[in-house]
Structure 1
Amino acid sequence: MVPMNRPAHFVLLRGLWREARHWGEFPGHLQQQFPGALISTPDIPGNGLRNQEISPDTIAGMTDALRQQVNLSQPVRLIALSMGGMIAIDWMTRYPAEIEAAVLINTSARPLSPFYHRLRWTAYPFALPMIFRSATQREADILRLTSNRHPHDTKLLESWQQWQRQNPVLPVSARNQLLAAMKFSVIVKPQQPLLVVTSRADRLVDYRCSRKLAQIWNADYVEHESAGHDLPLDESEWLVQIIRRWFDLGIDIQIWK
């Protein structure tokens, strides 16, 4: 799909209240498949190593902050999850020369999908109160809501809770990120090669958001049958294999299980 005649530079973008460490094993699996690639995992202001900064309350503001952290000497390949996918779309459309291609995972955007698909109604009782809960409880709620493989993984949850104690997301940043995601709208279709990957069993965002996006933009589309919203966590090796095949061979719109 995209020629491999030079080393790739992958930039990985996470979602709401997440940081680089939440990618888990995924960057390592990606490196194994692309041994010569540079892999960058910048943090959105307000998260991770930048937790003392206040998050922008727009997706565009997040894009501009992330661009300052990335080596743009050559076009980059974005791999973006959830709200990170919104940032990727904004980046591709406002700075098209900087982006070679993108993989969007379980993302959504107005006006392509209705609000009750962008956040499934069954998730409302769990998702909306998270911003007001303690960091410890919020991490437990996020894990249960976003992972179908590890919802009761005590060791993983303890790691997530420890990261929040080390680099807590300030309440104002948590609010700003949520507002940014809610307000984001797609205006222009990206022109770069695009792979949309979704989890049919996603309990946070309806998979039809990804399917609709792929259909409207005529993008390549792959669907996992049983993983949760955090697809890189639930099916890291599967996801990397799909990305590898796409960059090497290209794939048509279809379902891979």
Structure 2
Amino acid sequence: MGRWIFLRGLTRESRHWGDLPARWVQHGLGQPLLIDLPGNGDARQQPVPGTVRGMAQAIRDAAHASGTSGPLHILAMSLGAMVATDWAQTHPEDLASLVLINTSMRPFSRPTQRLRPQNWAAILGMARHWHDRVRCERTIHRLTCERLDTRDADLARWVEIGESAPVTRDAAWRQLLAAARFRAQDVPPPCPTLIVASDVDRLVDPRCSARLAAAWQAPHVRFARHPWTGHDLPHDDPAWLCDTVRAFLPRQ
């Protein structure tokens, strides 16, 4: 089957996947390689490139340095999905498939769809109180999660992660600017691609994923929607995600 690489989004790191990697193994999809974007997690000391292209090169270098060989599959969300897309479009020989979760890209979506205006004040509030991890993680959970039965445990864990491997405000800003500037190619990645959207995403309009799938209309591009999860779909319903990817693979 080849090796899966997982890429998270803005300011998030490998530990934010929760139990998805373990579920991935249980579903027979193999042990994923978890790589952090520059500025996050294990890569927090790395300079953050000002472009998604620079981030993609850093991730590609990290994958090669790990000794991982192809065929490579990538599951990525949000900013990580932009990085995965750029990698696939610039080095198509590296990748066997993509799963892109709740992402958005120019030229397919407007700025107000890529980041819903009703959230701008909350995001500015996080920027002003960046070192108050409890406040920031509460805001992130409210904006990205619909599953609330694990909220207290989630927040405790996320605060612990943020304090043990803090992402600087400058790194977060550079990641946000890179995401805002990123423009994907009009043609789809050449590898089989599954675009996944959450219908109740409070952060990014799910129409961004729908329009991306429509623009990339091709036999090897698929589109899947979840009816109730938020932006952090892997948190809200990891079992559904594993099942959906598992069903996607035989079609390749």
CA distance in 2, matches of 1:53, 1:185: 24
Alpha-carbon shift at residue 67 of structure 1 (Å): 1.1
C-alpha root-mean-square deviation of aligned residues, in Å? 1.5
- Tell me the secondary structure at the aligned position of residue 12 of structure 1: strand
1:155 aligned onto 2:149:
no
* Aligned twin of 1:110: 106
Q: Is the 8 A contact 1:144 1:151 kept in 2?
A: no
Q: Is the 8 A contact 1:198 1:224 kept in 2?
A: yes
- Tell me the secondary structure at the aligned position of residue 6 of structure 2: strand
* Aligned twin of 2:32: 39
Aligned with 1:123 (options 97, 119, 122): 119
Q: Is the 8 A contact 2:76 2:101 kept in 1?
A: yes
* Aligned twin of 1:96: 92
Alpha-carbon shift at residue 156 of structure 1 (Å): 1.1
Q: Is the 8 A contact 2:81 2:103 kept in 1?
A: yes
- Tell me the secondary structure at the aligned position of residue 195 of structure 1: strand
* Aligned twin of 1:16: 10
CA distance in 1, matches of 2:123, 2:196: 22
* Aligned twin of 2:162: 164
* Aligned twin of 2:199: 200
Alpha-carbon shift at residue 192 of structure 1 (Å): 1.1
When residues 152 and 39 of structure 1 are mapped into structure 2, their CA distance, relative to the original with a 3 A threshold, is: closer
Alpha-carbon shift at residue 139 of structure 1 (Å): 1.6
* Aligned twin of 2:225: 223
Aligned AA for 2:130? S
Aligned with 1:184 (options 175, 182, 185): 182
TM-score by length of structure 1 reads 0.90
Alpha-carbon shift at residue 146 of structure 1 (Å): 0.4
Aligned AA for 1:92? A
CA distance in 2, matches of 1:176, 1:142: 18
When residues 113 and 174 of structure 1 are mapped into structure 2, their CA distance, relative to the original with a 3 A threshold, is: same
Q: Is the 8 A contact 1:52 1:170 kept in 2?
A: no
CA distance in 1, matches of 2:184, 2:59: 19
Q: Is the 8 A contact 2:186 2:216 kept in 1?
A: no
Task: Map 1:231-242 to 2 at 5 A.
Answer: 231-242=233-244
- Tell me the secondary structure at the aligned position of residue 220 of structure 1: strand
Alpha-carbon shift at residue 72 of structure 1 (Å): 4.6
When residues 23 and 152 of structure 1 are mapped into structure 2, their CA distance, relative to the original with a 3 A threshold, is: closer
CA distance in 2, matches of 1:86, 1:187: 11
- Runs of 4+ displaced beyond 4 Å: none
Q: Deviations over 1:15-60 (max 9, x none)?
A: 000000000111111111125x241011111111122223212111
Alpha-carbon shift at residue 152 of structure 1 (Å): 7.2
